[in-house]
Amino acid sequence: MPVQEFPDTQDKQPNAPISLTRVGVTGVKKLVKIQRDNKRPIILLPTFDAFVDLPSTQKGVHMSRNPEAISEVIDESVSDMEIHIEDICANLVKRLLEKHEYAVRAETEATSEYIINKFSPVTHKKTQETTHIIARAIAMKDDLGNISVRKMVGAQVVGMTVCPCAQESVEQESKEKLLEFLDEETTQKVLEAVTFASHNQRGIGTILLEVSENQNVNVDDLITIIQNSMSSPVCEILKRPDENKIVTNAHKNPVFVEDCVRNMVLGLLEKYSDLPDNSMVTIKQVNEESIHQHNAYAEKVASMGELKQENNME
């Protein structure tokens, strides 16, 4: 029995001839198994958003083609031993432009929880820590039908920060009290021997790094850079010696929200200085305050070339 054909309402002229920047689907969840040679496979459950632009002559996109493209690209990635989540996004935007012949721009983003294994600092209890990875890709089609792709990979990590300003005021007050019954030399020895209190924040650091289609960045490197930018990493399982170690180390390394972003810039330049100068970088830090209702925020958006120039690396 032949399949009944229905009219393509999407291909009709719209009532208002206005082009749209992004049309598509959001929140498509797929199970992805990423295989590495001689390493354990990584299981992800990413959420995909997939869009194309829509010309003013087209009433609507063929929406089912977007989740269809996501399924096709993921199924094809199973046989690739060295696939990265940003590669899946890059392949997806190209597939979207193939399926939507009227579109000249396609964009996709995938976000997923990413589990890393670590050990607590003193008792060495094994624990699983949750981070987030972010992948994006944008494809553009020129007048000759040639497609160019830009892809981005990133990570978001939670850590701990300690406020330097409050700590300095606590130290100053403590020094004045000690000088009431100790001499200057003894007071200084006491100040050097103890760790001073301050208010803490839960810090959320994010790096998003643009790479060419044939380049890849190890997301574990980005996670390490973010962790090292704050006063201390955090750990899910902590016994009392571990808690003491983390709190003490964090208060020995107080940082402002601005310091975290600058530290990430330095870590990124040290690890990936070979990336092209036109690679764009977005780095941001949100510190969820403990003594205020507001949060603190800092951000740096620049090319790798600009970051190198600012840090006298050229």
SS (H, E, C) 183-236: CHHHHHHHHHHCCCCCCEEEEEEEEEEEECCCCCCCHHHHHHHHHHHCCEECCC
* CA-closest candidate to residue 44, choices 219, 284, 209, 208: 219
The pLDDT score that the predictor gives to residue 80 is 67
Residue 239 backbone dihedrals phi, psi, to 5 degrees: -90, 175
- Residue 283, both tokens: 């780095």
Q: Which residues face 157 on adjacent strands?
A: 205
Give this prediction's pTM: 0.88
Q: Are 256 and 230 in contact (CB under 8 A)?
A: no
What is the CATH class of 17-163+198-310? alpha beta
CA distance 214 to 209: 14
Residues 6+ apart with CB under 8 A from 99: 62, 65, 68, 69
The pLDDT score that the predictor gives to residue 5 is 66
The pLDDT score that the predictor gives to residue 262 is 97
CA distance 225 to 85: 19
The pLDDT score that the predictor gives to residue 311 is 87
* CA-closest candidate to residue 255, choices 170, 167, 171: 167
The pLDDT score that the predictor gives to residue 14 is 72
- Residue 60, both tokens: 């609507």
Residue 65 backbone dihedrals phi, psi, to 5 degrees: -70, -25
Q: Locate the domains of the chain by residue range.
A: 17-163+198-310
CA distance 88 to 83: 7
The pLDDT score that the predictor gives to residue 112 is 95
The pLDDT score that the predictor gives to residue 171 is 81
* CA-closest candidate to residue 157, choices 110, 88, 210, 221: 221
Q: What is the CA radius of gyration of the chain?
A: 25
The pLDDT score that the predictor gives to residue 34 is 77
Q: What HEC string does 61-103 produce?
A: CCCCHHHHHHHHHHHHHCCCCCCCHHHHHHHHHHHHHHHCCCC
Q: What is the mean pLDDT of each successive set of 10 residues along the chain, which is 314 residues long?
A: 65 81 94 72 91 89 91 84 84 95 95 92 91 95 90 95 90 85 87 86 95 86 96 91 91 94 96 91 95 94 94 71
CA distance 23 to 61: 7
Residue 250, judged by CB atoms within 10 A of its CB (0-12, 13-18, 19+), counts as: buried
